Each structure stands twice: as structure tokens, then as C-alpha cells.
Structure 1
Amino acid sequence: MSTKNKLSLTLRPAMIHECLVVAEEYNKFKDWSQVREEVLGNNLLQARTESTLKTIYGEVSKRLKNLTDAELALMNYSESDAQHLVWLAICREYLFTRQFAVEVLSGYFDKSRFQLYSEDYDAFLNAKAEWHENLDNITQKSRYKSQQIMFKMLVECGLATKNKEILHQNLSPQVKAVIVEKNPDDLAIFPGEYH
């Protein structure tokens, strides 16, 4: 099973600030190897250790490489654009997160059910685990951690409140246009009127 088809849980939060730093470097150089050199060479992510710096850069760049140049160019445009584009990058990298966004966030929103509960995540994970062996084998600790991170990301990306209420998304015309250009189906990850 290829990693793209394998459902992986993201065990790191949205890291919006780090994404903005890396995107800014990419918009300067348009070359990922140059970006890596700049970020690691100058510790632009202000990590305490080199191994932490490499780990964070690795995760952030892996996500951002899912965005087009046009999408990356809008990262520093406004806070909500950055939040939407980081969420888009995460959903393109992690199929599990994308499916949660479409099936749970947007699915509930369409039915005017705006409150999320921990049980919703558990039920979703259990349903996916029936079809994906790697999810069936994760520990309770990893399940709990992935749930905490999912809800944290929803807040960081402006998709839900701290009380787990789903928020209607208003994509800027620029962000909506670049997403539609690449793949209109990606609009379904944003709860609201876009699908």
C-alpha cells in the first residue's frame, strides 16, 4: 500500500508560524533545496536543537510541498488565508485528516450540527480502522494524542472554536481561485458553502 493511500494520523499541530517562515523563504527562492539550506543554516524556526529544527522543517516542508506556487504566494497575505492554506496543505498530505474534514466537519455543518465531541473523532477513527490495518494497531496513547492534535489544529486553522464548535469558513476570493485552479474538490475540506 503506498503511503498516499495509507491513512496516517498527523501527530504534530498546524505550526502556522513555522509554515509562514518556510513559505516566505520559498517565495524568495522558488527552490526547496535553497529553502532547506536557509532555514537550517540560520535556524529560522528558532528550534533549541538541530535535531528538533530538522524534524520541524521536515514536517512543515512535507506539508507545504503539496501547495502550488500560486497558493504559497498567498500564505503571507492575511492570517485567515494562511490558516486556510495550512489546513489545505495538511489535508493534501494526510488523507485521514482530509476525510475527517469532508466527512465530519463539512458533513456535520451541512446538517446544521455544529458541535463536535471527542466521541465523534473516536467513531471516525474506529470506522477507518476497520479498513486500514495500520490504524487498527495504534495504541490508546496515540489515539488520544492524535485526537488532541486534530482538535488543536481545527482551532489553530480557524475551523472550530476551543469549545469544538464548527465555524463557517469564508475563503478569500484569491484563495478560493487558486484552490479551484488546482482541484475544486479541495473546497470540501472547508465547512460552509464551498462544496
Structure 2
Amino acid sequence: MDVERYNMGFTTGGLLLRESVRVGALFRDLGDWDAVRAQVLQDNLLQTRKASSAKRLAREVVFRLRQLGREELDLLDSAGVQDQVSLVWIAICRRFAFIADFMAEVVRERYLALRNDLAYPDFDAFLEAKSGQHLELAEISPSTKAKLRQILFRMLREAHLLSNDNQILTPTLSPELATLLLAKRAAEARYFPIAERDLRSLAK
């Protein structure tokens, strides 16, 4: 059986929270992603210096936000910063299955086993283990692997899921977001280092 290739193109920016919130608000007004992207580029909404950077950044932010449903986009617009961070993280995990699997199989499992430290070798071991099924991973150069690792750890810190000294952090989810997550896609609790019972206790 063919295994779907991992999309490893997550080196554009980091969490991109500010950019995601701005673009999400624009979608609320326009209701069309193509129109949103055009408006973002026309107004330089992401405040980049080069047109090529603007196109690349706008493309990535739109791709991520398209992973969210309407209720989630509405919450992104109205929520506090922590829920906005968590919603953007959900979008990232939906877009990049490699990150979703790393969260489920490494970060969350370490957290549940009370091993709260996370280090670069954990990333390296996971990538190596997945290379057997995902042959595209074996083609990644050492320099690209180092950049992917650096960006992923940076995003984890920006998502408030990893401390500066590489300790795994439990997310702070509002009752509204916890309820929405459990109601729509309960399996996606694996994107966070949190036990399902704890997530349910947060829900309304």
C-alpha cells in the first residue's frame, strides 16, 4: 500500500500567529481565499520587504488557515491569544502530517510517560524511524534536516508547548476551544501534550 508523502515544507516562518490572525480576519470579511490572498499582497498586509517573500508567506498562511472550519476561524478572530495560538497550531498539524505524528508519537507520549524533556536527538530518531516508510525523508540533506529541526522546535516554543530549556508544557485551552475540539475531531487531542481526560475536564 502506498504511503502518502510527508509535506516537509514547514520552513516558511514559524508559528506566524500575528499573520494568521490578520489573514483570518480578512477572510471573515471577504469569504473567499483567492480574494484574501490578492488583498494581502495588494496591501502588503504581512509587511514584508520583498514581493517574493510576501507571496511565499501569504501562500503558506492561507494554506494553513484553510485547514480550519468556519467555527474555528470565528474563534480565531474572537479568542484570546492562547486560544489563537492553539488554533494556529491545530492548523499547522493538519497541514503537516509529519508534525502531527511527531506530536502524537513523541511529544505527547513523552508527556504522558512523565518524561517532560525534549531534545534534538528525539527529532532525529523519529525522522530516522519514519524513513523506512517515507522514503522521501531519506533524501533530506543534513543541512535541511537541521533547519527543519530548528524550525519545529521554534514553533513548539512559539505555541507555548516547549519551554526555553526544552521542557514540554501543557497547553492552556479555554472551555470553548476544548469543547469544539472534542466535538469536531477528538482524535486531534494528540496534537497537544495533554491527557484526554484532562482535555475533557476543560470542556464545557
- 1:11: which partner in 2? 11
Q: TM-score, normalised by structure 1?
A: 0.94
Mapped pair 1:98 → 2:100: yes
Q: Shift of residue 30 of structure 1?
A: 2.0
1:127-146 alignment, distance < 5 Å: 127-146=129-148
Which of 177, 180, 187 is the equivalent residue of 2:182?
Answer: 180
| Structure 1 unaligned regions, length at least 5 | none
CA RMSD of aligned residues (A): 1.6
1:62 and 2:63 aligned: yes
1:83-133 deviation per Cα after TM superposition (whole angstroms, max 9, x unaligned): 101110010001100000111111100000100111001000100112111
2:201 counterpart residue number? none
- Residue 183 of structure 1: SS of its match in structure 2? helix
Q: Secondary structure at the match of 1:164?
A: coil
1:31-42, aligned counterparts within 5 Å?
31-42=32-43
Shift of 1:36: 1.4
Task: Quote the Cα distance in structure 2 between the aligned partners of 1:43 and 1:23.
Answer: 15
Structure 1 equivalent of residue 166 of structure 2: 164
Alignment of 1:73-92 (within 5 A): 73-76=74-77, 77-92=79-94
Runs of 4+, deviation exceeding 6 Å: none
Aligned residues: 194
In the TM superposition, what whole-angstrom CA distance separates every residue of 1:133-163 from its partner, at most 9, and x where no partner exists?
1101100000000000010000001111111
Distance in 1 (CA, whole Å) between partners of 2:109 and 2:92 is: 19
Letter in 2 for 1:24: A
Provide the residue aligned with 1:194 in structure 2.
Answer: 196
Give distance in 2, aligned partners of 1:70 and 1:176. 13
Tell me how far 1:188 sits from its aligned partner: 1.3
Larger deviation: 130-139 or 175-184? 175-184
Counterpart for residue 49 of structure 2: 48
| C-alpha distance in 2 between matches for 1:5 and 1:85 | 24
How many angstroms apart in 2 are the aligned matches of 1:115 and 1:74?
Answer: 31
Q: Helix, strand or coil for the counterpart of 1:74?
A: helix
Q: What is the percentage of aligned positions where both structures have the same residue? A: 33
User: Are 1:71 and 1:179, in contact at CA under 8 Å, matched by a contact in 2?
Assistant: no
